Structure 1
C-alpha cells in the first residue's frame, strides 16, 4: 500500500481557494469519490472527491485556510494494489501525488438570493457510512472541528457530537474537548456557557421541530450577510412593455419548431442589459475600498441565477456583447442544463461582471435582489402581466415586464440608477435596438 497526496486542482486561474469544511481526519476510511473537503472559490462552492479508496494518513490543511492550486491537502494510504495496475513494490511503497477534480456543487446566492422556481436550500451529496475499527466514517461529520481537535477527541475518548462548541460559529475547539474530559464539573461549566435556547421558548406555544441548516445555507448565509451589511443597497423599480417582443419571440419559436434552441424572454433581456452596461459602465465595475478606486471592466459577462434541486447556481455567459440572440439562447440552455445536472466546469461559474436573477417562473411584481460582491449591481426580473395602457385615445392591453435593480450607493447615485433602468426598458422594448 502506498501513500497518495491529493492536490488542489487548477481552478482556471483563480489564485486563492478557501478550505470551508473538512470531512475526514487521520484514520478515516474513504472510498473513491467520497468527499474529502469543501472548497470555495469566488462564488463557487465545490466538494473535492477522493480519487481512490483507502485510509486517510494525514490532513495537511485546516478549515478557513486559504490555499492555492497544486497544494497537497490530504495524504491517503491507498488500499489494495495502489492506483496503477502493474506497479512494482517499490512504486507501491513510494509517496505519490494525485490531483483530484472538484465537483461543482453550487454558488452562493450572496450573488442574488432568488431565481427560477425560488432559492433552493441546497444539501450535501449522499456519502457512504463506511469505516473500519478505530477509523471515523466519512458520513459521521455533523460537528465543526479541525482535524487536530478531532484527533484529540479520539485520543481522549470524547464524542464530539456531545460537546458544545464555544469557538466561532459554534466550532469545537481544543478547550471544549479538554473541558469535556474533566467530567461532570467540566460538563456543567460547558453547559453554563451555552447561549439561551430560543427553541425552548418557542416550544412553550406548540409543537416545533429543529432542523439543521444545510452546508450551503451556512456558507451562503454568511456571505449574504456580508454583502447586505457592507454594501449600502438601494433598489430602483421599473417595468418594460414587452407586448411586441413577446409576439416576435413566439413567431420565431414557431419557425424553430423541431430545433434544439428556443428563444426565451430572458435571452432578450440579457442582450438588452449588455447594451445598457456599455452605456453605463459604472454598473459593470467593482469598488476597491482599500484604495478608493473603481475598476471599470471592459468585458461584459452576465451571471444567471439558476434554481436547481441542490441549491442556487450562478453560471456565467461570457462576452454577451459579441453574441447574437440565438447564440445567447443556446448558451443559456447549455449552462442552465449543466447547472441542474451538476455538469458545469469551474470556468462556467467564474468572471461575472453583473448578475440577473429571475423569478418570472414563479410570480411577484418586484423584489430586492442582494448584490453579489464584488459586483456593484444586480437585476431582478419578475413575472410579466397584462396592464391597461392609455395610447392617447383609449386603454389597450399591454404585457408588462416588472424588473428591479439593486445597486451599491457608494458607487452609483439614484439619478444614474434611474437612467440605467430607463436604458434597459428602452432596449427591451425596441427590437431593433436589442438585436443590433
Structure 2
C-alpha cells in the first residue's frame, strides 16, 4: 500500500503526550527518520521521526491535541503515481487508509498486514487482557492492562476499588491517579475537621496592568509539572537541610590534570556523582523510599543518581544509572550526554525515571548556598554552590583553600540528624581523597 499511516510509537512509559509543533506541509518530501512533528510529555519534548521515506500528505491531528500510544497522526505517500494509482483516486486511498486504522482498534493483525505497522503497546495490552491459562493470579473481572496494573502495584492500590472509565470499563492510569487523589483529599478533609486546620488562604487576585505594561506568558508543560511537584513535595515532606563545606583544593588540581593527560574535560559534577554513589552504598538508609502505607521502607539495591539540569523549557532531572559500577570517565560521558539531550529536549521519559538520590549543582552560576527541595519519592538531595577560595586555619597559620558549599536536604521521616551528619562528613572526606577517584 503506498499510503503509510504513521502512529504514535511506544514512548517508554508515557501513555499520553501533547502535539506541540506541526512543521510539515502537504507535498513535502520526507526522508527516513526526518522529524514529522514534536510531542511533549510531562517531562520532555521529543521529535517524532518518520518511519518511512516518501511524500508527506497530511496530519491526522491538530496542534495542542492529546494523543495516545497507537493513535494515527499522519499520512505519508510511499510511492510515486503508477497506473494502478491512477485507477484509485486519492480519495479512495484515504478511505482505505482510514479503514485500516479503524481495523487496528479491534484487530492488530490487520494493521500489520494492511499498513506494515507493528502492533502498538496499546494493542498488546488489549490482547494481554484476554490471555488465559498463563498461571498468573489476575482477577478476570478486572479489566486493566499491564501498565495500569504495575502502576497500581507501585502505589499500593487495589484495582477492585477503582472504577474504570476506558472502553468497556477498562481501568486507565488516570483512573488510578484520580482514585489516589480522592483518597488523599478525603484524608486531608478528615484531618482538617479533627485538627481545626482551615488551610492556607489563596493568593490575592491582582490586576497587574493597572501598574504598567504586562505580558502574560504561558508556562510550558515541564514548568507546570515542576511547580506542582515542588509545591507537593514542600508541603508533604518534613524537610531538614544541613550545611557544610568541603575542601576540594587537591581535587581541583587533580581534575585539571586529567584534561592535560587525557585531553578530556571532567566536570566537578562527575566527581560528586561518583562520591554520592559510594555514600549510598555505605549509608543505605539514604537509598530508600517510604512505602505508600507509611509503615515500611523500600530498600533499593541499585544506585541511580538524578542530575538537575536547567533547560529553556524548565528544570528536568535525567538519571545516571548504575553509578556504583562506573568509573569517573564513564560517569563523565553520561553527564555530558544527558545534559546535552536535556537542553535539546531529546530526553525520553525512561531517562528521567528510577532515581535514588538527586544532585542539584549551581556551581556554574554562583551563590553561597541554598536549600534544595527533595524530589519525591527520593528522601535526599544534595545542593552544591560555587566553590570559593577562603583563608582557613591549619593549626599554626592561615592558608588559602578552595571550599565547596554543600547543602543536604533530607526527609526527616526517614533520616535523622545524626545519619545526615555522618553522610556529610563521609562526603567531605571522599572529596578530599584524590586517591579514591584515581584508583
Do both proteins adopt the same fold according to a TM-score greater than 0.5, normalized to the shorter chain?
Answer: yes
User: 2:403 and 2:303 mapped to 1: Cα distance?
Assistant: 26
The correspondence for 1:328, drawn from 289, 313, 331, is: 331
Aligned twin of 2:251 = 245
Say if 1:34 and 1:49, in contact at 8 Å, map to a contact too.
yes
The superposition leaves residues 340-396 of structure 1 with CA deviations (integer Å, 9 ceiling, x where unpaired) of 334445544333221111100010111111222221111111000011111111111
User: 2:233 and 2:17 mapped to 1: Cα distance?
Assistant: 18
1:8-407 residue pairs with structure 2 within 5 A? 8-11=9-12, 14=13, 17-19=14-16, 21=18, 33=35, 35=37, 38-40=40-42, 44-47=43-46, 49=48, 51=50, 53-56=57-60, 71-74=69-72, 76=74, 78=75, 82-83=77-78, 93-94=96-97, 95-96=100-101, 98=117, 198-200=205-207, 202-256=208-262, 259=263, 261-290=264-293, 292-407=295-410
Aligned twin of 1:412 = 415
The CA deviation at 1:315 is 2.3
- Aligned in 2, Cα 1:419/1:198: closer, same or farther, shift over 3 Å? same
SS in 2 for 1:246: helix
Superposed CA RMSD in Å reads 3.8
The CA deviation at 1:413 is 1.5
Say if 1:275 and 1:427, in contact at 8 Å, map to a contact too.
no
SS in 1 for 2:427: helix
User: 2:429 and 2:247 mapped to 1: Cα distance?
Assistant: 9
Say if 1:384 and 1:402, in contact at 8 Å, map to a contact too.
yes
324-333 or 237-246, which moves further after superposition?
Answer: 324-333
User: 2:395 and 2:268 mapped to 1: Cα distance?
Assistant: 28
SS in 1 for 2:41: strand
The CA deviation at 1:62 is 8.7
The CA deviation at 1:23 is 6.0
User: 2:397 and 2:203 mapped to 1: Cα distance?
Assistant: 63
Say if 1:236 and 1:417, in contact at 8 Å, map to a contact too.
yes
Specify every segment of 5 or more residues in structure 2 that has no aligned partner in the other structure, as ranges: 51-55, 102-110, 112-116, 121-201
The superposition leaves residues 198-240 of structure 1 with CA deviations (integer Å, 9 ceiling, x where unpaired) of 342x344444433332332223212222222222222111110
The superposition leaves residues 27-61 of structure 1 with CA deviations (integer Å, 9 ceiling, x where unpaired) of x9999845475333xxx3335748564243799x9
Instruction: Please give the TM-score of this superposition, normalised by the length of structure 1.
Output: 0.63
- Aligned in 2, Cα 1:248/1:38: closer, same or farther, shift over 3 Å? closer
Aligned twin of 2:185 = none
- Aligned in 2, Cα 1:100/1:315: closer, same or farther, shift over 3 Å? farther
SS in 1 for 2:215: coil
Aligned twin of 1:116 = none
Say if 1:379 and 1:404, in contact at 8 Å, map to a contact too.
yes
User: 1:331 and 1:209 mapped to 2: Cα distance?
Assistant: 39
Say if 2:19 and 2:62, in contact at 8 Å, map to a contact too.
no
Structure with greater proportional helix content: 2
User: 2:298 and 2:394 mapped to 1: Cα distance?
Assistant: 43
User: 1:271 and 1:196 mapped to 2: Cα distance?
Assistant: 43
Instruction: Please give the TM-score of this superposition, normalised by the length of structure 2.
Output: 0.63
The superposition leaves residues 239-290 of structure 1 with CA deviations (integer Å, 9 ceiling, x where unpaired) of 100011112222222223xx3x212222211111111111111212222123
1:419-434 residue pairs with structure 2 within 5 A? 419-434=422-437
